[in-house]
Amino acid sequence: MVLRPAQLKHNPQPSLHFSCLLLQFLSSSTTPVFFYNARVKSWDIVIVGGGIIGLSLSIALRKRGATVLIVERGEPGREASHAAGGMLVDCPLETQAALQPLASASARMYPEFAYELEVESGMKVDLRDQGAIVFPSKEHFPLPVRDPEFRAAALSFADLERLEPALRRIASDDAQERELARAELGPEMSLQEIGDFFKSIYRPAFYVKERSVDPRALTTAAWATAKRRGVDFSSGNEVTSVTIVGGRATGVATTKTVLHAAKVVNCAGAWSGQIEPHAFPTRPVKGQMLCLAAPSRELLKHVIRSPEVYLIPRSDGRILAGATVEEAGFDKRTDAATMQRFHRAAIALVPELRDAKILEDWAGLRPGTPDALPILGATTTPDYYVATGHFRDGILLAPITAQVMADVISGVEPTHDLMPFSPSRFEAGTAHS
């Protein structure tokens, strides 16, 4: 039992007899008693943003004994994390050099990370380890053909046939197959577009040993785990600024109230830069996605990445086709032309998807930065930290971000160099002190 001032409102001046009884109870009780103003609750750490980054960090901080409140403008896990594809891309050809150490470390952490969430939440997150087949885009060229690892990963037509029988196999000079492809892709397509499609088929392919996960299942499991571990939540509560007293962060102001904490962490994704006093240069980068129900759960085993579309199979038979990279502000609408393009590109790669049912489409807002790298670390305001700007890698980087940021917040030297991600590289982005 914990007695609080609110329980004494009916008698604002307790009698001496009652006071003696109260002191006797407090001295004899084995129940922990916490004295604080009942009207002003406080936490060790307030995390702004309840996506996979904020959720993962909250769990890591609770493991270290901190009291944590997550303040989310909407519902936890329903923004970029909800819209993500879930490819855990750990490939030097597709990852910035500065980010590669964090990406590789986080990829290695994923089996344990996912297992822990599954055990604590009682939910499955659909972590798959079949790998990816990548058809390189122009950004990948020139390919490192002299690299022994790359040469070992290169796939012949026979390899592709063995790994993914559902992928289209046709001869480049087969006119009949070209006409069939045109019928599938749409009779309105020009011969030039059909020719471009065939060129896309006859390019190198390579295998990447990587995993994928269902981000919606992952964030739901992380939310359940965080609640089970005692993380508090305030949903539908938009943070407008970090409160500063004596030059230090002391909590956050929201559209509804003021919340108090010893430390604050900004994990607000695309909205991070809207929270005063630091105008972090994050921006929304729109990504549209299409979800299909495959005619068979075994149709695709691997993630397929091509310049036209990527296909991400789920264990329940769903296949995601995406995704755009659009500078469209905070617009999350999808458009029919983009969905048709994804559908055609998916059928072009896997003809059996012509029989797939369209389940849904959606768009999400990735948090982009000017250099496409995350912003991680302490800000110039004492006790105010930031973990945002993960762009297309938020799901992948969740475990390592939670680890290194928990270290920084706890005053422990992180195991990875965070200088490339320091908010100080954007010092001009401070709104006011």
pTM for the complete prediction? Answer: 0.84
pLDDT value at position 418? 98
Q: Is residue 8 part of a domain?
A: no
CA distance 379 to 325: 29
| Residues 180 and 262 occupy one common structural domain | no
Mean of pLDDT values over 412-427? 95
Helix axes 215-228, 394-410, angle to 10 degrees: 30
Same domain, 199 and 308: yes
Flag whether pLDDT at 217 surpasses 70.
Answer: yes
Same domain, 288 and 331: yes
What does the buried/exposed string (b/e) look like for 187-199 if buried means 16 or more CB atoms within 10 Å of the residue's CB? eebeeeebeebbe
Residues 187, 69 share a domain? no
The token duo for 260 is 């108090």
Say yes or no: 222 and 152 in one domain.
no
Looking at 350, 368, 386, the residue that finishes a domain is 368
Q: How many CB atoms sit inside 10 A of residue 177's CB? A: 15
Domain edge (last residue) among 368, 391, 415:
368
Instruction: Give the three-class secondary structure for 136.
Output: coil
Q: What is the pLDDT of residues 400-415, one digit of tens each?
A: 999 999 999 999 999 9
Give the residue numbers spanning the domain of 81: 42-85+216-282+370-429
CATH number at residue 261: 3.50.50.60
* Total of domains in the chain: 2
Burial 382-413 (b: 16+ CB within 10 A, else e): ebbbbbbbbbbbbbbbbbbbbbbbbbbbeeee
Summarize the confidence of residues 36-60 as an average pLDDT: 88
Residue 266 lies in a domain: yes
Asked if 309 and 187 sit in the same domain, the reply is: yes
Same domain, residue pair 296 and 225: no
Q: How many helices (H) and strands (E) does the chain have?
A: 11, 18
Mean pLDDT of the chain: 87
Residues 158 and 302 in one domain: yes
Tens of pLDDT along 156-206? 888 999 999 999 864 444 555 556 556 655 666 666 666 665 555 556 899
CA pseudo-torsion sign 326, 329, 330, 336: negative
- What CATH code is carried by the domain that includes residue 152? 3.30.9.10
Residues with Cβ within 8 Å of 377's Cβ and at least 6 positions away in sequence, in order, are 385, 386, 405, 408, 418, 421, 422, 423, 424
Burial of 277 (0-12, 13-18, 19+ CB in 10 A): middle
Question: Given this model, what pLDDT does residue 179 score?
Answer: 61
pLDDT in tens, 255-282: 999 999 999 999 999 999 999 999 999 9
Least confident of 131-140, 313-322, 392-401: 131-140
Is 80 within the bounds of a domain?
Answer: yes
223-227 long-range CB contacts below 8 Å, 24 or more apart? 223/50, 223/55, 223/76, 223/77, 224/120, 224/121, 224/122, 224/123, 225/55, 225/59, 225/116, 225/117, 225/120, 225/121, 226/55, 226/58, 226/59, 226/62, 226/68, 226/70
Tell me, yes or no, whether 170 and 294 share the same domain. yes
According to DSSP, residue 208 is labeled E
For residue 324, tell me if it sits in a domain. Answer: yes
The pLDDT of residue 246 is above 80: yes
Angle, alpha carbons 102-107-109 (nearest 5°):
95
Please state, in angstroms and rounded to a whole number, the distance separating the CA atoms of residues 358 and 227. Answer: 34
- Cβ atoms within 10 Å of 372's Cβ, excluding its own: 15
Same-domain check for residues 262 and 199: no
Same domain? 268 vs 157: no
pLDDT of residue 146: 72
Q: Kindly list the distances between the CA atom of residue 273 and the CA atoms of 44, 135, 269, 297, 361, in Å, as whole numbers in the listed order.
A: 23, 36, 9, 42, 28
Q: Do 197 and 308 belong to one domain?
A: yes
**pLDDT tens-digit readout, 218-230:** 999 999 999 999 9
Mean pLDDT (whole number) for 12-38: 41
